[in-house]
Each structure stands twice: as C-alpha cells, then as structure tokens.
Amino acid sequence: MKLATLRDGTRDGTLVVVRRDHAVFAKATGIAPTMQAALDDWANVEPKLRALADRLEKGEVEGTPVEVEQLASPLPRAYEWVDGSAYINHVILVRKARNAEPPPTLRTDPLVYQGGSGAFLAPTDDIPLADVEWGCDFESEIAVVLDDTPQGTTAAEAGRHVKLLMLVNDVTLRNLIPPELAKGFGFFQSKPASAFSPFAITPDELGGAWKEGRVHLRLQTWLNGELVGDTDAGPEMHFSFFDLVQHIAKTRSYTAGTIVGSGTVSNEDRARGISCLAEQRMVEIIESGSPKTPFMKPGDLVEIEMFDEAGRSLFGRIRQRVVQK
C-alpha cells in the first residue's frame, strides 16, 4: 500500500491512498483524515486503507490524477525525527572532511541525532538558503515510520513497529557543523528542514528487498540532471533500522508517527557515486589535495528516487531546487 498527503491549506493535509503506478489517488475520507490520525489508530485504520487501495488498484474506485507538486511530505510535521548515521563509509569520509576522528565505538554503538520535526519541506519544495557560505548539501536517505514503540524494544521486536518507509533529503549546512559540534551539544542550526518522498509505502511493497531491517535496492541521486549517486542501500548499512530502534528505545518510548532515518546512504566502492556532496569533496581532497565540487547554490536542483528491480519507482521523486531566501 502507498499513501500520501495532499496539500489542502491545513497544517496536516489530507490522507490519500495512491495506486501502485503513482498515476491516481483516492482520498481516505471517512477512514482517517490525516497521516498522523492513521498512524495514531493504525491497527484499526490499516485494513480499511488496504481495502481502499485494493479497490483503487482494480479500478473500482475512481482515482484523481496525482500531481506531485500538490503533495506535502507524508507527515508534514511529525512528533519526532530521529536520524541515524548507519553507513560507516559516510561517517569515516565526512569526519575526515572536518579533520575529526570516527568515534572508537563506530561499529558497536549507533550514531543518531534528534532532528527538528515541526515543519518539513514538501518533496518538491524549494530549499530556502539565506547564505551560500553556509555550505548547503543534500543527504539522500531512507526512513521508517514507527507506531507506538515502548521503552526497551529490542532489535528482534523492532520489525513489528515499522509501518511505513519513505525517502528523505536531510538538507545539511556543512559549514555550520564544525563550530556547532565544537560546542558539544550536537547539530542544530546545521540541520534545516528536511523533505520526504511523495509516497510513504508499507514494507510489503518492497517484497524481498526489505530484509532484516535494511532495504536492498539502489538509491539514486541527481544533481542538476546528472546522476551523481547510484548507491546500494543494503549491505553497507552497518546498523539496521531494527538496531537503530533498539538504540533509541533504551531510555524512552516513542509515539506513533516517529520517523527514524538511516543516515546518508554510502558505499565504499566509489564507482557507486555519492548521496551527499561532502563525500565527493572528501574524495577530491584525498585524490588531489583540495575539494573541487562546490556545495549547492541558488538554482541547483537535487533529485532523489529509488526503483525496484523491475524499474518501477517505489516512493516517487524528491525534486528540490535551492533558492535564495
């Protein structure tokens, strides 16, 4: 099942069910008004949404054509957005880029940070940039949406709490990071609003590609129309989504609709390209002594999408242009 949120002038939009080919949608009116409302009562709501999705698939319900620009992020605002950094290659490269050592617990203790979740960008919203010197970067990631997840949930139990998956562009202001991390409290100003894919999908839509808390498919990223990343999201995700859930549930509980991100998808094989510019710049430093690729500037366009093995888009496309704010 694929879901989306239609912009309707309200804060949380209207929940819609989307046909598997992304061509048409049907409003979930009468089932759940918003994505958050659906997640708040998922056990009751999910079968009804699936029944509607089935009827839409079979043509028994009239669909309205999808216009991606009319969609908000599936959760236009969420109660929590917890982003991991589960691809070890990304951690190593990005820390090299700021002359920082990877933590000694790199492979045993997941890195996560708490992100802002009150005002996400839509999948096709511009990225407002007030100062090009901030070093605006994209980060192409995968995220899961949880239902109520109690304190003490283990990795073995985590799978049952994953209700939906999405893609994310975790926009990052690279040049604000070093002074911010030097203060010791983690990211804040360096993490402006993120944007999510048009469609949030249930794990069964991934078939066998959803395995032990990882998505075994390629995540593609284009910058100004050029494919810059075709990274494998599967084997190099050192900590699975299930590991991340166990980590974050050690000392507290989570409400339905909490979003957990994978961190930038990253492969050791450089031929796979990049899911953020910081990695590209680090590779250039290693190879030639200095970075050649600039960070994004007004006018630049980043696109992120994932296809299944038959070449069908799974989540729709994040498509964002940087604009001067």
Residue among 153, 115, 147, 107 at smallest CA distance from 251: 153
For its own copies, what does the binding mask look like between residues 153 and 182, x meaning CB under 8 A? --------------------x--x--x-xx
Cβ of residue 323: shortest distance to its own copies, in angstroms?
13
Chain residues 50-109 in contact with its own copies, contact rule CB under 8 A? 77-80, 82, 85, 100, 103, 105, 109
Strands 195-196 and 162-169: antiparallel
**Other CB atoms closer than 10 Å to residue 324's CB: what's the count?**
12
Distance (Å, whole) CA 28 – CA 74: 13
Site string for its own copies, 196-235 (x = CB under 8 A): ----------------------------------------
14: closest CA among 1, 29, 31?
29
Phi then psi for 35, rounded to 5 degrees? -60, -45
Complex with its own copies: residue 84 or 234, whichever CB lies closer:
84
Compose the 228-267 pattern: x for residues touching its own copies by CB under 8 A, - for all others: -------------------xx-xxxxxx-xx---------
Candidates 161-169, 185-193, 269-277, 312-320 — which segment interacts with its own copies by CB under 8 A? 185-193
β-pair type (259-261, 81-84): parallel
Q: Minimum CB separation from its own copies for residue 108, in Å?
A: 11
Q: Is 113 one of the binding residues for its own copies (CB under 8 A)? A: yes
Bridge partners for 137 per DSSP: 172
- Which is nearer to its own copies, 81 or 199 (by Cβ)? 81
**Member of 186, 207, 294, 299 binding its own copies (CB under 8 A):** 186
Q: Is the dihedral of CA 97, 98, 99, 105 positive or negative?
A: negative
Within 10 angstroms of residue 47's Cβ, the number of other Cβ atoms is: 11
Q: How many residues bind its own copies (CB under 8 A)?
A: 53
CA dihedral 153, 158, 161, 164 (to 10 degrees): 140
Q: Which positions ≥6 away from 184 have C-beta within 8 Å? A: none
| Per CB under 8 A, 9 contacts its own copies | no
Distance CA 121, CA 123 (A): 7
Q: CB nearer to its own copies: give 11 or 160.
A: 11
Nearest distance in Å: CB 186, its own copies: 2
Residue numbers at the binding site for its own copies (CB under 8 A)? 11, 40, 77-80, 82, 85, 100, 103, 105, 109, 111-119, 128, 130, 134, 151-152, 173, 176, 179, 181-193, 247-248, 250-255, 257-258, 325
